[in-house]
Amino acid sequence: MTLVHVEAPVFEHHHDPLGIGESAPRLSWTVATELPGWRQQAYEIELSDGTATGRVESAESVLVPWPGGELGSRERRGARVRVYGRDGSVSDWSPWSWAEAGLLEPADWTAGAAAPPLELLGLPDGPALLLRRDFTVRGPIERARLYVTAHGVHETEINGRVVGDDVLAPGWTSYGHRLRYRTHDVTDLLTEGANAIGATLADGWYRGRIGFRGGKTDLYGDRTALIAQLEIAYADGTTDVLTTDGSWRCASGPVTAASLYDGEKYDARLLPSGWSGPGFDDAAWLPADALPHDPALLVAPTGPPVRRVETLAPVEVLTGPDGETILDFGQNIAGRLRIRVQGPAGHTVTLRHAEVLENGALAIRPLRDAAALDQYTLRGDDGPEEWEPRFTTHGFRYAQVDGWPGELDPASDVVAVVCHTDMRRTGDFTCSDPLLSRLHDNVVWSMRGNYVDLPTDCPQRDERLGWTGDIQVFAPAAAFLFDCSGPLSSWLADLAVEQVQEGTVPHYVPWVPLLFGNSPTAAWGDAAVLVPWTLYQRFGDLGLLGRQYASMKAWVDQVAGLAGENHLWDEGFQFGDWLDPAAPPDNPGKARTDHALVATAYHAHTAAVLAETAALLGHDSDAAHYAALAREVREAFRREFVTPSGRLACDTQTAYALALTYDLLDGAEQRERAGRRLVELVDQDDHRIGTGFVGTPLICDALCSVGAYDTAYRLLLQRNCPSWLYPVTMGATTIWERWDSLLPDGSVNPGEMTSFNHYALGAVADWMHRTVAGLAPAAPGYRRLRVAPRPGGDLTHASARLDTPYGLASVSWERDGETLTVTATVPPGTVAEVDLPGAIPQEVGAGTHTFTTTV
């Protein structure tokens, strides 16, 4: 009996490898075995084309180079793996995994862009338009693929059935440089003989309104279009290719308005029955305009699409102050409602959305200029009608339902549909304090709410932009909770191309010019260096560092130029320690910590990270150059901001957090003094948090780095405002933008920037995983684990589990008086350094281990 099993290998970061863009996809596999301390000695890969590596002496199992010839467009190839252990064990062959390449070359695209004619085009965010055409399937089919994308957002149907389950396809990338297409297997949707294909096309990010203070429209163009190529391979070896061109016919349809911010209006009476099926009479429809487009911009996805991930039933039906019906879904989400309604033709039901209630009514002021209002006008047939908007999402927990015909049954008539990028959930945390566990759940929900195709600041108001600073601080938590390696590598590709275009890292990516231009800003622009670095640490993807290297380097070089000879970055606009609790509601950047201190600290840190990156990639002279730069910036930081004994010129929690975690101090004495001062500052604030976006992810690590675990726990477990748990005590189900988005009296913070779903301040979750539960990477991709829980506060247990690239790892501990029992699971192929309080550190191999110690 074989004791070692290998799971089917994974191609790159794809868990659904249909239509991949990599012609030489790297392979990863995990091993399942009970053999204690199992380590890989060698592997063997076979491809379905007969390629066989034979035994390769290597411990690598994550992102192993493709061993065969490159995949051609449309080519499908299988791979399987077997492994040899250091202990002499040999596994079975893994099951086969199959990947199919998409269209890899621009020349593979013969489809033009079919654009609805100007006569039909309304104002931006106006009607969604229908496009269709008939076609014939000549005989038995072997396989059929639809390669599809849009200028705008689309939902495509074949013979009346929706293709795939993507939401808001093709999502939002930097359309001027990269437009994602998707490959769908549509073999089962086709029938021999007469067929039809149709698409509903809305403006989305391409043409619809984006941005605050009125925003802008037509940001990428003033014409929406569908780009689709249907390839039918027949059993007899012949192929038909049907593409978008001037032969498609267009009309308006039931969606009379569709806006990402404002919502969707749908008049069911206007749905042309059978329009996406064969035999529909489209003689009165208008021909599409065939517009040119650049197929070189079309890229395959590197991660999953946005999908409907979960539905939530209302937990309560409330009555507002004016008698309005308000549904509480018990959870703040990104998504929309699905209704089942019966009533007379032409009757309209209105759905409004909000994250919180104020005085019992929907608090819509925080949405600013996002109406978040959907309307459904009934067809009025006999049976119930089901509807869900398709071209919008909202950030909400509450929904007000106006004009419901008859009695609304909350058990069957309305659900909330949670929509976001369908990333694999990988990490979890729980502990004995229900408030802290809820805080962690809130972080998870904020990650979910802020990944509707890209990492955003918030999902509800007239913004929803890919703010670089927000994901920069949150990336370590994100990378634990979900497999975001594929989605974030796409976002980083956008960042890099826009950095070249803008001459600096944009404030948000994709960049669209709204109210202000770009200028380099610390912590935000540093995303160029720190997000790839985080992904490397967590997923072991060195290739990503290679791809981002030019972008990382350009950022550090630019900042070095700005800082000049004295290495202090003390000029130009900065967001600083955005939203520290002292910043007034109307001036979030007016935080207590000196902007120059924040910017110079970041400069030192990213220069040091770049030096390490350069060394890993074998750019030795760069490595030496950036290591020297980091040293010089550190010295400059100390000259300017640190007294010889270790106090800082700027006496704030964030300043000390930066100096301690970014290693900006000189020797143990300065560290000790700075640590003591940080503890004093936190004590003086009664253990309430005093940090904004910059200090918040660092402060607990900073305290722990000087042994002040107790202070870190008191800060973490504080319930008075401002603190992490205050929002939880106020009923928060997501992380708020401000420490006090809801004021203690229950009113909404008067600042115009008041979201209830912003993940940045939830960055502390990463520390909870690493230090409270005690599960951290000690080498890239968790090839070495660090098991080092530091129990504190009045917690009696905590645990974390993570699907690492090597398999499932977990740590859980229980405290009974002074006895601490820790159980750790170490995946095959890895080792863990176990460092427990009151015990000598040790190293253990794969398997599940239990340790007991006294605290």
Active site amino acids: 463, 737
Q: Report the phi/psi class of residue 214: left, alpha or beta, with left for phi > 0 and alpha for psi in -120 to 50.
A: left
| Of the residues 355, 453, 457, 483, which one makes contact with ligand BGC according to CB under 6 A | 457
Contacts with ligand BGC, 519-558, as mask; x by CB under 6 A: ----------------------------------------
Can you read off the two tokens belonging to residue 836? 């427990």
Cβ closest to ligand BGC, residue 648 vs residue 689: 689
| Least distance (Å) between residue 633 CB and ligand BGC | 24
* Angle of CA points 276, 282, 287, to nearest 5°: 100
Q: Which of 265, 219, 257 is nearest to 128 (CA)?
A: 257
**Residue closer to ligand BGC, measured from CB, 671 or 758:** 758
Residue 98's φ and ψ, nearest 5 degrees, are -125, 135
Binding mask 758-777 toward ligand BGC (x if CB under 6 A, else -) reads: x-------------------
DSSP state of 586: T
463 binds ligand BGC (CB under 6 A): yes
Minimum distance of ligand BGC from residue 144's CB (angstroms): 43
Confirm or reject binding of residue 467 to ligand BGC (CB under 6 A).
yes
**Interacting residues of 848 by C-beta distance below 8 A, sequence separation 6+:** 823, 824, 825, 826
Which residues touch 212 (CB under 8 Å, ≥6 apart)? Answer: 368, 369, 461, 462, 463, 514, 515
Give me the least distance between CB of 758 and ligand BGC, in Å please.
6
**Binding to ligand BGC by residue 204, rule CB under 6 A?**
no
Instruction: Provide, rounded to whole angstroms, the least separation between the CB of residue 468 and ligand BGC.
Output: 8
Q: Which candidate, 242, 300, 298, places its Cα nearest to that of 100?
A: 300
Query: Which range of residues in 163-171, 464-472, 617-625, 812-820 is near ligand BGC by CB under 6 A?
Result: 464-472
Q: 386: buried, middle or exposed (CB in 10 Å: 19+, 13-18, 0-12)? A: exposed
Contact flag: residue 11 with ligand BGC (CB under 6 A):
no
Identify which of residues 28 and 460 has a Cβ nearer to ligand BGC in the complex: 460
CB of 693 to ligand BGC, least distance (A): 7
C-beta neighbour count of 125 within 10 angstroms: 23
With beta carbons less than 8 A apart as the criterion, state whether 439 and 728 touch. Answer: yes
| Three-state DSSP state, 615 | helix
Q: Please, are residues 790 and 813 in contact by the beta-carbon 8 Å criterion?
A: no
Dist. CA 361–CA 364, nearest whole Å:
9
Site string for ligand BGC, 558-577 (x = CB under 6 A): -----------------x--
d(CA 269, CA 347): 10
Q: Between residues 120 and 260, which has the closer beta carbon with respect to ligand BGC? A: 260
Given a contact cutoff of 8 angstroms between Cβ atoms, the answer to whether 416 and 449 are in contact is: no
Question: Which residues, numbered 57-96, are part of the site for ligand BGC (CB under 6 A)?
Answer: none
- Nearer of residues 422 and 470 to ligand BGC, judged by Cβ: 470
Query: How far is residue 755's CA from residue 119's CA, in Å, rounded to a whole number?
Result: 39
Distance CA 854, CA 621 (A): 48
For residues 248 and 131, give the distance between their C-alpha atoms in angstroms, rounded to a whole number: 6
Nearer to ligand BGC, 91 or 749 (CB): 749
Question: Among 470, 483, 498, 766, which residue interacts with ligand BGC (rule: CB under 6 A)?
Answer: 470
506 binds ligand BGC (CB under 6 A): no
Distance CA 444, CA 437 (A): 11
CB of 457 to ligand BGC, least distance (A): 4
C-alpha–C-alpha distance, residues 194 and 587, integer Å: 62
Give the separation between CA 635 and CA 565, rounded to whole angstroms: 12
Query: What is the four-CA torsion angle of 734, 739, 744, 750, rounded to 10 degrees?
Result: -100
Question: Phi/psi of residue 414, each to 5°?
Answer: -140, 135
CA 353 to each of CA 366, 433, 441: distance values in angstroms, whole numbers, following the listed order: 11, 32, 22
| Helix axis angle, 595-616 to 527-539, nearest 10° | 50
Q: How many residues bind ligand BGC (CB under 6 A)?
A: 10
Q: Which of residues 14-33 bind ligand BGC (CB under 6 A)?
A: none
Report 726-765 residues binding ligand BGC (CB under 6 A): 753, 758
Tell me how far apart the terminal alpha carbons of the chain are, to the nearest angstrom.
43
**Residue 469, interface with ligand BGC (CB under 6 A)?**
yes
Nearer to ligand BGC, 190 or 458 (CB): 458
Q: Considering only CA atoms, which of 40, 31, 149, 147 is closest in space to residue 87?
A: 40
Of 398, 440, 391, the C-alpha closest to 202 is: 391
* CA separation for the pair 571, 158 (Å, rounded): 57
Nearest to ligand BGC of 295, 525 (CB atom): 525
Q: Which of 205, 511, 578, 626 binds ligand BGC (CB under 6 A)?
A: 578
Side-chain-facing half-sphere of 823: CA atoms under 13 Å: 7
Cβ at position 578, least distance to ligand BGC in Å:
5
Q: How far is the CB of 588 from ligand BGC (least distance, A)?
A: 7
Which of the stretches 236-244, 290-298, 456-464, 616-624 binds ligand BGC when contact is defined by CB under 6 A? Answer: 456-464
Q: Quote the least distance from Cβ 721 to ligand BGC, whole Å.
A: 20
Per CB under 6 A, the segment of 220-228, 266-274, 291-299, 467-475 that binds ligand BGC is: 467-475
Contact letters for ligand BGC, residues 605-634 (x by CB under 6 A): ------------------------------
Q: How far is the CB of 786 from ligand BGC (least distance, A)?
A: 31
Given phi > 0 = left and psi -120 to 50 = alpha, else beta, which region is 845? beta
Distance in Å, CB of 508 to ligand BGC, minimum: 8
Task: Return the half-sphere exposure (C-beta side, CA atoms, 13 A cut-off) of residue 651.
Answer: 9
CB of residue 585 to ligand BGC, shortest distance in Å: 13
Per CB under 6 A, the list member of 232, 408, 418, 458 interacting with ligand BGC is 458
Nearer to ligand BGC, 360 or 517 (CB): 517
Of the pair 575, 806, the CB lying nearest ligand BGC is at: 575
Residue closer to ligand BGC (CB basis): 587 or 850: 587
Site string for ligand BGC, 91-110 (x = CB under 6 A): --------------------
Q: Which stretch in 52-60, 120-128, 466-474, 741-749 sits in contact with ligand BGC by CB under 6 A?
A: 466-474
Which of residues 133 and 368 has its CB atom nearest to ligand BGC in the complex?
A: 368
**Contacts with ligand BGC, 787-826, as mask; x by CB under 6 A:** ----------------------------------------
Q: Supply the DSSP symbol for 125.
A: T
Nearer to ligand BGC, 80 or 758 (CB): 758
Residue carrying structure tokens 């076979």 = 46
How is residue 618 written in tokens? 């074998």
* Residue 345: how many other CB atoms lie within 10 Å: 11
> Minimal CA–CA distance to 629: which of 599, 656, 606, 647?
606
Phi/psi for 193 (5° steps) reads 100, -140
Tokens of 368: 């600013």
Minimum distance from residue 241 beta carbon to ligand BGC (Å): 45
Residues that bind ligand BGC (CB under 6 A): 457-458, 463, 467, 469-470, 575, 578, 753, 758
